[in-house]
A = this chain, B = another copy of it.
């Protein structure tokens, strides 16, 4: 039984190793470079071992995406905690969101383009997603009240996500992101001069 607990621990370590390897390859060479053969080589096991940990490649991507949602929630939490009043919180959240997307492009891609599961509002959705949505909602509530709060949060998230994807694909010029954030916050917390 002592041995079997060691086995379980080693298995968990290898599980983590696979996820980290996938993330590292994706961050350095893009998700196209994340193939089961390369993953196997990286973790120094053969391909079939991957399938004893995950149902398939999609599940591995999904695990990386979940890590991403955790990191995003962390960043949003920190930025909201550091802001002074309601409107400043909304601005800080937006900036933190866009900064995360810019600094972790492979992670963001896994979260929103590759792993299409994990719905937001669903009670069954993993905690980090729930928390991320909740942080945005609380920020908006502090700045603008609770009317249509869920819908406005969804809209706010949509605008942020749209900015990220359109900027990333080169559709929007990358330069004026700061100005766009300013306008975004203006539109969502009401204008004042």
CB within 8 Å of B: which residues of A?
112-113, 116-121, 148, 151-152, 154-155, 157-163, 165-166, 169-173, 176, 179-180, 183-184, 187-188
Docked complex Cα distance between A54 and B154 (Å): 40
Given A155-B159, A158-B159, A159-B158, A169 and B116 contact (CB-CB distance below 8 Å)? yes
Q: Write the nearest CB–CB distance from A178 to chain B, whole angstroms.
A: 11
Docked complex Cα distance between A159 and B94 (Å): 13
The one of B119, B157, B171 in contact with A170, judged by C-beta atoms closer than 8 angstroms, is: B119
20 further contact pairs, Cβ within 8 A, besides A151-B183, A162-B165? A112-B165, A116-B169, A117-B170, A119-B170, A120-B166, A120-B171, A121-B172, A121-B173, A148-B183, A154-B172, A155-B163, A155-B180, A158-B162, A158-B163, A158-B166, A158-B172, A160-B162, A162-B162, A187-B187, A187-B188
B155, A183: Cβ atoms closer than 8 Å: yes
- Which partner residue on chain B sits nearest A158 by CB separation? B162
Residues of B within 8 A of A163 (CB): 155, 158, 162
Docked complex Cα distance between A187 and B186 (Å): 9
- Which partner residue on chain B sits nearest A187 by CB separation? B187
A176, B162: Cβ atoms closer than 8 Å: no
Q: Write the nearest CB–CB distance from A181 to chain B, whole angstroms.
A: 10
Docked complex Cα distance between A169 and B121 (Å): 13
Residues of B within 8 A of A112 (CB): 165, 169
Residues of B within 8 A of A116 (CB): 169-170
Docked complex Cα distance between A180 and B119 (Å): 17
A152, B113: Cβ atoms closer than 8 Å: no
Docked complex Cα distance between A62 and B155 (Å): 29
Given A119-B171, A121-B172, A161 and B151 contact (CB-CB distance below 8 Å)? no
Docked complex Cα distance between A180 and B120 (Å): 16
Residues of B within 8 A of A183 (CB): 148, 151-152, 155
